[in-house]
Copies of this chain bind each other. A is one copy, B any other.
Amino acid sequence: MTRTIPLRYRDRMTDEQAAVYAILDEALVCHVSYILDGEPRILPTLHARVGDNLLLHGSSGSRLGLLAREYADGLPVCVAVTLIDGIVLARSAFNHSVNFRSVVVHGKARLVTDRERQQQALDAFINQLVPDRASHSRRANPQELAKTAVLELPLAEAAAKVRQDKSDFDDPEDLDLPHWAGTIPLHVTAGEPKPAPELLGAPVPDHVTGWTPTR
């Protein structure tokens, strides 16, 4: 697991499964790093965790979708999700930071070709966005599935890195400086749901009004 061990701030790191899975489950998007023609690439996309695998949403016509087809035993990727919980202000510029929870996963992502497993993956992507949403929508038809690329990445090599509030914001010699220190907590909040034009005035279902960022 050496790829998941950072050179610095190792105290912020954990490969405890529960911590890794909770962060993956809360994040709405991930970033996928891969190599194309010897160059680094990055793609923000949707994901979902199903058991001990991370599913990545793509399009069969996208660069990542096309590239994954060429790797029967899986395309090497590195995936990150990052949740920002606050801005940390110190008296010293150097000790400014953010509170965050992030996960990095290394591994080989394989294209899911089985249609039923593709359907289950689409359900998982939608439920990742809004719990219980898949049962409140029409499932994909064969044409839609053909346009969708699902990549499956085992969570065997995954680690979380977490920075939370600490009691010391500054080095002792800076405590008397005339600057404010502390945290600005940040949250993701949902606004009033905006219905499609045809549904103006229609009741908004509970799974929509009850949306919260935490899972």
A118-135 residues at the B interface, CB under 8 angstroms? 122-123, 125-126, 129-130, 133-134
Q: For the complex, is A35 an interface residue (Cβ under 8 Å from B)?
A: yes
A44-B100 CB under 8 A given contacts A8-B62, A139-B93: yes
Interface size class of A (residues with CB under 8 A): 35 or more
Residues A167 and B82 in contact, CB atoms below 8 Å apart: no
Residues A126 and B198 in contact, CB atoms below 8 Å apart: no
A39-B76 CB under 8 A given contacts A84-B28, A167-B197: yes
A184-B188 CB under 8 A given contacts A40-B35, A92-B144: no
- Give Cα distance in the complex from A132 to B175, angstroms: 21
Contact with A133, one of B39, B96, B192 (Cβ below 8 angstroms): B96
Q: Which residue of B lies closest to A189 (CB)?
A: B189
A13-39 interface code vs B (CB 8 A; 1 in, 0 out): 000000000000000110101110011
Residues B137 and A96 in contact, CB atoms below 8 Å apart: yes
Contact with A76, one of B40, B80, B139 (Cβ below 8 angstroms): B40
A153-195 interface code vs B (CB 8 A; 1 in, 0 out): 0000000000001011110001101011111111111111111
Nearest first, the 8 A-B pairs at minimum CB distance are A185-B191, A33-B33, A182-B195, A33-B42, A94-B144, A181-B196, A31-B31, A44-B82
